[in-house]
Amino acid sequence: MNLTVIDHPLTRHYLTILRDKRTDAQAFRAAARGLTYTLVHEATLRVPYDAFDVETPLEMAKGHRIRNVVAVPVLRAGLGMLDAVLEMIPDVKVGFAGVARNEETALPQEYYAKLPDLSDAYVIICEPMLATGGSLSWAVDKVKSSGAKTITAICVVACPEGVDRMRQDHPDVQVIAASLDRGLNDRAYILPGLGDMGDRLFGTT
């Protein structure tokens, strides 16, 4: 597994807003979208594209078109990243992977999955919090079972425990994060982290 931590002023700016416990749901959603733009920029550096000739008002030029990208947000928190992906990537398709966290065991519990054929797709999984790694590992299993071979995960915050889990389970997956935080507390929440991403996105704290 290849981990890339984005070190960009805009990334740091938006991450600070997300960390701040005073940030309300509306501002939190806007900051999540802004931060995701910076992650998507990195995630698409290796995206496949077709080259062709395009006619400008003056002459012919070389053009490029991105092809066959599928975004898979991990429900529900991954929905906070989806709008930025839809805005930035032309003709992106979307699959969904629904998993809930068992608060007693911190293990992922599947409740929904709807994926297109991914056999020739460049897949971007949106999983904001790479904590224990269970949810992301499960989502990768799902997209691989639908044929995916090239997979990148974008995360807002990661921690060493989740990174180690992904290295063990899916060493072929690239992970892009805005921060590699210190670790997990006794409830498997990331420290310093930003709390429960889904609850803060949708005002259900």
Is there a catalytic annotation at residue 105? yes
Q: Which of 4, 167, 169, 196 is catalytic?
A: 196
Is there a catalytic annotation at residue 101? yes
Q: Which of 29, 36, 38, 101 is catalytic?
A: 101
> Mind giving me the DSSP string for 130-178?
ESSSHHHHHHHHHHHHTT--EEEEEEEEE-HHHHHHHHHH-TT-EEEEE
Q: How many other CB atoms are there within 10 angstroms of residue 183's CB atom?
A: 13
> Mind giving me the DSSP string for 39-81?
HHHHHTTT--EEEEEEE-SSSEEEEEEE--EEEEEEETTTHHH
Rounded to whole angstroms, the Cα distance separating 53 from 33 reads: 33
Distance from the first to the final alpha carbon of the chain: 33
Q: Which of 44, 83, 167, 199 is catalytic?
A: 199
Q: Which of 105, 117, 172, 204 is catalytic?
A: 105
Quote the distance between the C-alpha of residue 35 and its chain's center: 11
Q: Which residues are catalytic?
A: 101, 105, 196, 199
